[in-house]
Amino acid sequence: MNYAGARLAPEPSLERKRAAQGSIDLPFAALTLLLLTIGVVMVLSASYARAYYSASTGHNAAYYFLRQLGFAIAGTAAMFVMSRIPMSFYRRMSFPLLAVSLVLLAVVPFIGAAQGDARRWIDLGFTTFQPSEIAKLAVILYFAALICKYKSDMATFRYGILPFALVLGLIVGLLVLEPHFSAAIIIIAIGGVMLFLGGVKLRWFIGVGVTALAGLAVIITFFPYASGRISTWLDPFANTSGDGYQIVQSLYSIGSGGLFGLGLGQGRQTYMYLPEEHNDFIFAVVCEELGFAGAVAILLLFAALIVRGYILAMHMRDRYSFLVTAGITTLLAIQVILNVAVVTNLVPCTGISLPFFSYGGTALMIQLAEMGIVLSASRDIPAWRS
């Protein structure tokens, strides 16, 4: 849907918006909490063996579960608090948030915690977080504000392309230094969706697509990290004890689940066979323990949440709320689709978490904060809900 051609209602005054403000959208909130609950339970099921055998966790089988549960409770509280904050506040804070995310991304290559060949995390002592998660939300909020500011000039290069391209180029450049190509791809996709909704002409997307393909060719050529992932994706069974080990174990996990699964907590791959079983590859554990039926049920819940998000976006009373809601919903959809595609080897293996499921406290809290912003916007929708 290209929102630029739609007829927009006059921007209501702050007093009128406050007077008309209603409750949050209950179906969206209920779906979010349901997925969060299932996700926390799956973290327990997927992580208990690794936590028990790991000295760093004190051999506490519930270590990862208790931490995720704590962050889930804190994130839920933050979600409802943020649902009470008016959208005008998020609009004012969009540029400061973008500036903070750029600073954090700039310092990651110097002070960030390393894992393998990548340096993507900042260590806070009690936990780590990826600044790229903040950058994703910042791009949505700032692009929405900028599109509203230049709404009559979005078809021009000076206002509709240049400022957005500069921001995306800077963020992607910083992400390549980590390297964190999956986050770069997601942010480029989100930026493109926001610009399309803002009214940018289709010909610009064709040009960007060609440029992106050229950039991908350069990355594959000059970054062994990326070219190795491509080779493993094409034939993971060529080196099952090396680069192909993780995806092969993921496929074994998915295949062994059958129709109804082995049962919650009965997965075999969780016993130190599948790397990142409680993190990026938790969906493989879902398939093994809950089977095809359980995996499809969870994907349907995600689909219902995404569809509900787009329905809310189409009923927003102002342009900024529409853009932010559509952007956050698209971000959720992209991450779910890419995570499932990675776990099933439909795309090259890369670090993309499954929202509400993958272990990671700060990432979970940011995801719930994004849901809180959507719920905040839903308060201004007229009483159309059924």
What pLDDT is stored for residue 97 in this prediction?
Answer: 96
Q: pLDDT at position 4, please?
A: 45
Separation CA 34–CA 115 (nearest Å): 32
Q: What is the mean pLDDT of the chain?
A: 87
The residues with which 121 forms a beta bridge, in sequence order, are: 113
* Contact yes or no for 128/121 (Cβ under 8 A): yes
Compute the distance between CA of residue 26 and CA of residue 19 in angstroms, rounded to an integer: 20
Q: How many CB atoms lie within 10 A of CB 194?
A: 23
Tens of pLDDT, residue by residue over 184-206, are: 889 999 999 999 898 887 777 77
Instruction: Tell me the C-alpha distance between 357 and 272, whole Å.
Output: 19
pLDDT digits (tens, 9 = 90+) for 112-144: 777 766 778 888 777 788 899 999 999 999 999
pLDDT surpassing 50 at residue 168: yes
Q: Which residues partner with 114 through β-bridges?
A: 119
Q: State the pLDDT at residue 383.
A: 62
Model confidence band, residue 7 (pLDDT cutoffs 50, 70, 90): very low
Among the residue ranges 32-41, 74-83, 244-253, 376-385, the one predicted with the least confidence is 376-385
Q: Does the pLDDT at position 305 exceed 80?
A: yes
Report H helices in the chain. 14-20, 26-53, 63-82, 87-92, 94-111, 131-149, 157-160, 162-177, 181-198, 202-222, 224-234, 245-256, 282-314, 319-343, 361-378
Q: What is the pLDDT of residue 289?
A: 96
pLDDT given for residue 343 in this prediction: 94
- Would you say residue 2 has pLDDT above 90? no
Domain boundaries, the chain: 21-378
Predicted TM-score (pTM) of this structure? 0.88
CB-CB contact of 291 with 257 (8 Å): yes
Cα separation, 177 vs 380, in Å, equals: 41
Is the pLDDT score of 3 beyond 50? Answer: no
Supply the pLDDT for residue 210.
76
CA dihedral of residues 38, 44, 46, 49 (deg, nearest 10): -170
Length of the chain: 386
Give the tens place of pLDDT for each residue, 256-304: 999 999 999 999 999 989 998 999 999 999 999 999 999 999 999 999 9
Which segment, 15-24, 66-75, 208-217, is predicted with the most confidence on average?
66-75
Q: How confident is the model at residue 76 (pLDDT cuts 50, 70, 90)?
A: very high
In this predicted structure, the answer to whether residue 86 has a pLDDT above a threshold of 70 is: yes
Q: Which structure tokens are listed for 89?
A: 């506040």
| 147-160 pLDDT tens trace | 999 888 887 888 87
